Amino acid sequence: MKDTLQQLVQGQQGFIELRYHKRTANSFVAQKGRVDVANHAITEGVGVRALVGGAWGFAATADISPQAIRRAIAQAQSNARMLAKVKAGPALILARDRLSQQQFIGPGYAELTQMKLEDKLAQVVNYERQLAAASARMHTARCQYKEILEEKAIVTSDGVACSLKLAQPEFSMTAIAEKDGDRTTGHKGAGVSGGWNCLFKHPSLDHAVEETARIAVDLLAAKYPEGGQKTVILAPAVVGLLCHEAIGHTVEADFVKSGSVAQGKIGHRVASDLVTMADSGCETISGYAVGNLPFDDEGVETENTIIIKDGILSSYLHNRESAQEFGVAPTGNARAWLFNDEPLIRMRNTYLLPGTSRLADMIAGVEDGYLVEGAGSGQADANGEFMFGTGYVWRIRGGKKVELLREATLSGIAFDVLQTVDAVSQEFLWDLGTGYCGKGQAAKVDAGGPYVRCKITVGGEQA
């Protein structure tokens, strides 16, 4: 397909970007002894962006014949010309750093494409049966498997010519336990850039059936944590959620231009000097991240972008256009969900770098506080105000984990909370591999980090 796109882009007026994208998505959901979802979906087509003056035109076609793609090019150019007439400002120039020529086949792609769908479904059904049988208290067992198999080819009129095949499977299980009408939930999940075997070796899925059931059942006897400003140790999933939602979005260059709280903060202290945070398209630490991409959807090779270095804000996340405007190199963060979506600035694997403390010592150093495990839903605001749900909580008293508690809600101002970080663990985990980011379009992302000790507001009851 890349060769066809290269031929089509030749001789075109102005900047043209052609992106072929075929996605095969298989999903299975088994719960309560039945299969609720067993679906196989294919979406395929070519998206075209044309740049005329300072304006972008976009069109897309699901017909991948050369004739149809030519018509899509003409439509995108026509759209751009229409907009150029009304758009103020100078012509756009795109940064040209690290334009990719790669042909990439990701790990696990061959394994997953060769494995029969029915074999995957059978294993999901089997896991659900095991989970359902794990406790007499089990009310609902639910297992879900999804896999995304990507094929892309990207060609631009200024030198990009690259292609990839990627596999991104994910698996999660949820247990709802019941006693006397009270119900509690346990959850485990993981996603990887890799194959079936890689997925089920993810540390988050170690003893997944037993752990998921145990958490759900044990929480039946648990109370809720008390609200207030607390010393809290955040587990890797929660740290990842904080990095993604509360910091990551505010440093996306399009959002920075609009006026996010990170605007004008490059070079300023925004966190404790123990905090170094990055967003990476290439796996630079540990294993099992799902957001690995050799290049983004503009054909820019990805990198490990250091956002905060020792507490100082050091970079935003860029596409080619914003990089040129800010006078920096693009960071490979332009991503499109489907062929008919235009690329937007999105995150990939967002994380805090590990520190030098040991988790056991961090717990020992807390007189009265919480260890917060498991990420729930989360949202953050333009001013860095965030709210996250969590899975469950351990009360820490006198330096020891003493009591399991139910889920908590955490909130605060991200940069303020990061200023309170006083310990960062050596232990590290990618732990949001089943997550999707929403910004008009979806994006498959991952996030994680070490254990982090800080002060944060825990939601709770008022007397």
CB closer to other proteins, 97 vs 178: 178
Q: How far is the CB of 75 from other proteins (least distance, A)?
A: 4
Pairing label, strands 161-179, 103-105: parallel
Residue 180 or 207: which CB sits closer to other proteins? 180
Of 198 and 405, nearer to other proteins (C-beta) is: 405
Judge whether 371 and 399 are in contact, CB under 8 Å: no
Q: What's the one-letter identity of residue 67? A: Q
**Count of CB atoms situated within 10 Å of the CB of 377:** 11
Taking the complex as a whole, the smallest distance from the CB of residue 68 to other proteins amounts, in Å, to 5
Nearer to other proteins, 40 or 397 (CB): 40
Contacts of 407 (CB under 8 A, 6+ apart): 224, 374, 376, 389, 390, 391, 392, 393
Compare residues 38 and 328 and give the one whose CB is closer to other proteins. Answer: 38
CB of 193 to other proteins, least distance (A): 24
Which string of b and e fits 346-364 if b means at least 16 CB within 10 Å? Answer: bbbbbbbbbbebebeebbe
Nearer to other proteins, 65 or 103 (CB): 65
Six-digit token string for 319: 């596409």
Q: Which two tokens stand for residue 395?
A: 């009360």
CB of 96 to other proteins, least distance (A): 20
Least separation in angstroms between CB 412 and other proteins: 7
DSSP characters over 32-71: TTEEEEEEEEEEEEEEEEEEETTEEEEEEES--SHHHHHH
Q: For residue 3, with 0-12 CB atoms within 10 Å meaning exposed, 13-18 middle and 19 or more buried, which class applies?
A: exposed
Q: How far is the CB of 113 from other proteins (least distance, A)?
A: 14
